[in-house]
Amino acid sequence: MKEKITRKKGFKRGFLRFSQNKLSVIGSSILLLITLLAILAPWVAPYPEDAFFNVNFKQRFQPPSLKHFMGTDEAGRDVFTRCIYGARISLMLAVVVLIISVSIGVPLGICAAYFGGTTEQIIMRITDIFLSIPVLVLAMAISVALKPSLQNMMLAISFVWWRGFCRIAYGQTLSVKQEIYILASKTLGCNNSHIVLHEILPNITSSIIVKMSLDAGYAILMGTSISFLGAGANPPTPEWGIMIASSRHYLPDIWWNSFFPGLFIFLTVLSFNLLGDGLRDFFSVESE
Amino acid sequence: MNNIVSIQNLAVDFYSIDGISKVIDGISIYINQGEVVGLVGETGCGKSVTAKTLLGILPMPPGRIRQGDIFFLDQNLFNIRKAERDVLKQEFAYIPQDPMTSLNPVFTIGTTMLDLIIWKKSQNKIFKYLLNRRKRFLIKEAMNYASDLLEKVHLSKPISILRKYPIELSGGMRQRVLLATAMIGKPKLFVADEPTTALDVTIQKGYIYLIKENVMREELSGLYITHNLGVARILCNRIYVMYAGRIVESGRTSELLDYPIHPYTKGLVNAIPKITGEEFQPINGHIPDYLNPPKGCRFHPRCHHRMEVCSHIAPNIIEVKPRHFVSCWLYNSER
Amino acid sequence: MKNENIILETENLCKFYFIPNKKKSIFHNQEPIILKALNSVNIKISEGEIYAVVGETGSGKTTLGNMVSRVFEPTSGKISLYGKDIAFKQGKNLIEVRKIIQMVFQDSGAALNPRQTVEYIMSVPLNICSSLGKKEKMFKIKKVLESVDLPIEILQCYPGVLSGGQKQRVNLARALIFNPKFMVLDEPTSALDVSVQAKILLLLMKLKKEMRLTYIFITHDMSVVKNVSNRVAIMYLGRIVEVGQTSDIFENPIHPYSKALLSAIPVMTKKEKSMLPKEIILNGEMTSLEDVSNTCPFISRCQEKKDICKKVECPKLKEVNNGHFVRCILY
């Protein structure tokens, strides 16, 4: 009699499990919306010319209305348009920082855990040193040394962000290294590169991806904080942090210029967090 | 002969994203005072679920009790209030399967046992428990009681064991500690879920005789879950054979193992390699999918003797020989 | 003993683990504690036989299997496979060894990478030992799957959804892809249900006949040993204490530990019960591998011990009958 084979390869069950978590679905939808707005900014934004250099002093400080959805700022620029363009900048920041951190941190962490001995000690002590550097202070330092700019800010954040990924890759690899299937692969005669790439890496990917989605939110938060303090992007770049900083003085009467960028930050970071939770559920199904 | 426990027509479902799994479908088990009843079956037949439902520790979503009653000391556990149920549950003892993970590794054996002894003394009241924890003389009494219990399970130097952490003991010793822990408060019923699976053969032997000794001395009743028929032979007075959530055969141990009636029991007995060197044969097929169980008798897809009626209507349990019950159309004249 | 084409032989095989001695303070001489997992083990296995190795946790049977199949390297000793010493081979030479002798691990679920499909798992050994085209690889994989009774659809599944029996068969299939002559099976049926166990055992017998294999069968289940093996070696604390033809050992167990082991088997029928030695319940636990002095390893639990046992060095294996060896000073 033929035996029953249930549940073949595929992500269907993962999606099913993901969709059962209502909060993650909400979070991912918000994130999707923001991303779409960011990508389609030049076409969606009502006043694309307001994004950078346009000034329109006659229309400064208009409260939210049908004409200006989220009001105008101190230079008469439409806040909604600038928020959408700000989303572009922040999301790009998140992507660049994550790509650089993961490319540096994960291979280092895996090598440290897999080879052990001196390699492990060297890599992990360097990671410890980097862990002791506060990102904010470093960003300020770099902006003093070089000009404060968006690119330098991304550089500063990436410079230390890899340490978290190194740590997590290290811990996960250590626990996976002891599993019997690694021993079985060695017994079959696999060489080190095969074991690291095909045996260990697929097993730690899920935790790394979850951390990536959570870190995206924190990186954006860090970026806006640095810009808020003036060490990052320069005006008139429509970055959320700068927008909040420049309208600080006019609070609480002119609230819309600070509130709406803040709202965007909040929603973006929240949705990344919810996405992270959902991704955890998604990956846990596969190993069931 | 009074029933300590009587499970009547219990049915339990599990809700999952694939659907509803009808894991237990109408089983009835009774345990008398002073007897050890064995629940025998393979992985996935529902024995652990039965035990957990009896003890009340089955996670209720995703599990759900569809029908049935459980009577303990003539009280229906489902019809009484939670407070009364908690009082009755004091009379249960649970011996889990894996000694490696069943003891909290950050506490010494003494702390674990002490905690339980004082909790039992405080009659389930938290404030009383917190107060009692501070009384020196109670702690001393509890420690003496704990070392008494450890002596009863034949552990040498009980005082030094009380000071040890679980990781310092071997598997067999840990299993004995679990047995001693179960005996705290003189329960009336113990439920053992395959306690000897992780033990070596010689240690297993010692442990089974230990349980036998304790059962006789304290006049315990017990539900012993196992998939090892040899162990069931030594320890159990009666055996229930379970398949795919239903009881297929039950009776006195020696009678059932020497003269099995149901095709599944016969298949099991034949599949076990024996010292005599007789040929052993596997049972064809595999356990059914609980989401879509076979209609009628759940064993019929694998049965050599299946008939037309087997795939439509589930057979009743009838008494084929004195105190030997089977659920099979082969022996049921009312087809 | 008949010298029937011995293909595997070990000589004084030892595996020691050195553990730093943390009990004494740092001011004392820090000699490491030696754990003798395998202590001078000699075995001889003929072609086509099923050689069972029996013992409890800590006896060294898994370590012996690991040594012979070169999962780990021994500390010292010789392992001759078809006349060549494979104990310390490395690199390319080791891969040649792997093509002849393969190991099936105890925990079948843990031996399969949960993130790889069965197809990938099966293709890994193929990629190592040969350079076949895609079609030929598929053909080979399908052939092996057929021989272990697994349907082709299983190639697309992840190990997590397979049943215990299926996982075990995937492990077997992976080992068989190499076309080995020799398989070390570490408790292949311990984690399985009774009916599945019977299927796997019959499958192993069928494979042995079809592919002319030799097995080392590591187990603690004596009933399986009786039905399946030709010869059996009983181990205790890293040493073989009794070895011989299975029928001999069951009819006439000599070493006190063998007698206790046989008496402890939980048998079902009265007939079987009458074939086993009288009830012997051993006191205490197996002593730790650290405390091994040079006397008989079984001294602390032996029910037949005499004064002379404490005074003499650990006895050697002595031939008592034709092919039946015992390590006991009293016989």
What's the pLDDT score for residue B90?
Answer: 83
List, as one string, the DSSP characters of C32-56. Answer: PEEEEEEEEE--EEETT-EEEEE--
| Percent of chain B residues past pLDDT 90, beyond the cut | 26
| Binding partners of B (≥3 Cβ pairs within 8 A) | A, C
Contact between chains at B271 and C250 (C-beta distance less than 8 A): no
How far apart (Å, rounded) are the C-alpha atoms in residues A188 and A173? 20
Name the neighbours of A, counting chains with at least 3 Cβ pairs within 8 A: B, C
> Of A199-208, A231-240, C15-24, C113-122, which range is least confident?
C15-24
Contact residues, chain C, for B229 at CB < 8 Å: 194, 268
Arithmetic mean of pLDDT over chain C: 86
Asked whether B239 and B37 are in contact (CB, 8 A), the reply is yes
Residue spans of beta strands (DSSP E) within chain A: none
Phi first, then psi: give them for residue A14, nearest 5 degrees.
Answer: -60, -45
Specify the 3-state DSSP secondary structure of C88.
coil
Closest Cα in chain C, distance from residue B26 (Å): 24
Choose among A73, A83, A87: nearest CA to A32. Answer: A87
**Identity (one letter) of the amino acid at A131?**
L
Chain B environment of C220 (Cβ under 8 Å): 200-201
Contact by Cβ (8 Å): B72, B61: no
User: Is residue C30 situated within a structural domain?
Assistant: yes
In chain A, what are the domain boundaries? 2-51+70-286
Q: Do C268 and B206 touch (CB under 8 A)?
A: no
What b/e sequence results for A165-199 when a residue is b if at least 16 CB atoms lie within 10 Å of its CB, and e otherwise? bbbbbbebbbebbebbbbbbbbbbbbeeebbbebb
| 3-state secondary structure at position B325 | strand
Note whether residue C294 is domain-resident: yes
In angstroms, the CA A225 to CA B146 distance is 59
The CATH number for C94's domain is: 3.40.50.300
Nearest neighbour of A1 by CB, restricted to B17, B284, B289 = B284
Backbone region of residue B124 per phi and psi (left: phi > 0; alpha: psi in -120 to 50; beta: other values): left
A7 to chain B: closest CA residue: B18
Chain C: residue whose CA lies nearest to B43:
C193
Residue A287 — pLDDT band, cuts 50, 70, 90? very low
Q: How far off is chain C from B268, nearest CA to CA, in Å?
A: 7
Pick the closest to residue C111 from A190, A191, A179 (CA basis): A179
pLDDT at B283: 86
Burial class (CB in 10 A: 0-12, 13-18, 19+), A260: buried
What whole-number distance in Å separates Cα of residue B172 and Cα of residue B180?
Answer: 13
Any domain includes C88? yes
> When comparing pLDDT for B121 and C47, which is higher?
C47
Q: How far apart are CA B265 and CA B268, in angstroms?
A: 5
Residue type, A220: I
Q: Which of A6, A184, A198 sits opposite C105 (nearest CB)?
A: A184
Based on C-alpha coordinates, what's the Rg of chain C? 21
Residue A265 has pLDDT above 90, yes or no: yes
Give the residue from chain A lying closest to B288, CA to CA.
Answer: A4
Of the candidates B201, B258, B268, the beta carbon closest to that of C195 is on B268
Domain assignment of residue C57, given as a range: 6-100+180-326
Name chain B contacts of A17, Cβ cutoff 8 Å. Answer: 17
Stretch (H or E) spanning B51: helix B47-55
- B164 close to C (CB below 8 A): no
**Which residues, in sequence order, are bridge partners of residue C79?**
C10
Kindly state the helix (H) or strand (E) to which residue A155 belongs, with its residue range. helix A150-177
Nearest to C202 among B203, B229, B282 (CB): B282
Minimum-distance CB partner of B285 among A1, A16, A17: A1
Which residues in chain A are closer than 8 Å to C153, comparing Cβ atoms?
5, 8
Instruction: Residue window 193-222, chain B: list those with CB within 8 Å of chain C.
Output: 200-206, 208-209
Output the pTM of the full model.
0.84
- Under CATH, which number does the domain A2-51+70-286 receive? 1.10.3720.10
Cα A94 to Cα A91: distance, rounded to the nearest angstrom: 5
Residues 56-95 of B with CB under 8 A from C: none
Per residue in C276-324, pLDDT tens? 887 777 776 677 776 667 778 888 888 887 888 888 888 888 888 888 9
Q: List the single residue in C94, C112, C154 with the smallest CB-CB distance to A181.
A: C112
Asked if A185 has any chain C CB less than 8 Å from its own CB, the reply is yes
Q: Cβ(B329)–Cβ(B315) under 8 Å? A: yes
Chain A nearest C-alpha distance from C127 (Å): 9
Residue range A4-37, pLDDT digits in tens: 555 555 667 677 777 777 888 898 899 999 999 8
Taking the C-alpha atoms of residue A106 and residue C9, their distance in angstroms, rounded to an integer, is 46
- Which residues of chain A lie closer than 8 angstroms to B289, CB-CB? 4, 6
- pLDDT at residue B129, as a whole number: 84
Pick B43's closest partner by Cβ from C193, C201, C266.
C193
B289 interfaces chain A, CB cutoff of 8 Å: yes
3-state secondary structure B95-132: ECCCCCCCCCCCCCHHHHHHHHHHHHHCCCCHHHHHHH
**What size, in residues, is chain A?**
288
Total domains in the fold of chain C: 1
Strand pairing report for B246-252 and B324-326: antiparallel
Q: What's the pLDDT band for C25 if we cut at 50, 70, 90?
A: low
> Which pLDDT belongs to residue A15?
75
In Å, the largest CA–CA distance within chain A is: 83
Query: One digit per residue, pLDDT tens: chain B, 335 residues?
Result: 578 899 999 999 998 877 888 899 889 999 998 899 999 988 888 888 999 999 888 888 888 888 999 998 888 888 888 888 888 888 889 998 888 888 999 999 999 999 888 888 887 778 888 888 888 888 888 899 999 999 988 888 888 989 999 988 888 889 999 999 998 888 889 999 988 887 888 888 888 988 998 888 888 899 999 988 889 998 999 999 999 999 999 999 999 988 999 999 999 988 888 888 788 888 888 888 888 888 888 998 888 888 888 888 888 889 988 889 999 988 877 65
Q: For residues C209-233, b (16+ Cβ closer than 10 Å) or e, as one string?
A: eeeebbbbbbbbbbbbbbbbbbbbb
User: What DSSP element (H or E) covers A192?
Assistant: helix A192-194
Interface test with B, best of C269, C291, C302 (most B CBs within 10 A): C269
Distance of CA B274 to the CA centre of its chain: 26
How far apart, in Å, are the Cα atoms of A41 and each of A66, B265, C308?
19, 71, 94
B273 with C223: Cβ contact below 8 A:
yes
Contacts (Cβ under 8 Å, ≥6 apart) of A250: A61, A74, A257
Residues C133-165: tens digit of each pLDDT: 888 888 989 999 999 989 888 898 888 888 888
The owner of tokens 């009364």 is B84
A1 contacts on B by Cβ (under 8 Å) = 284-286, 301-302
Q: Cis (ω within 30 of 0) for the bond into A252? A: yes
Minimal C-alpha gap between B289 and chain A (Å)? 9
- For C142-164, b/e burial (b = at least 16 CB within 10 A) is eebbebbbbeeebbebbbebbbb
Query: CA nearest C125: which of C71, C183, C64, C175?
Result: C175
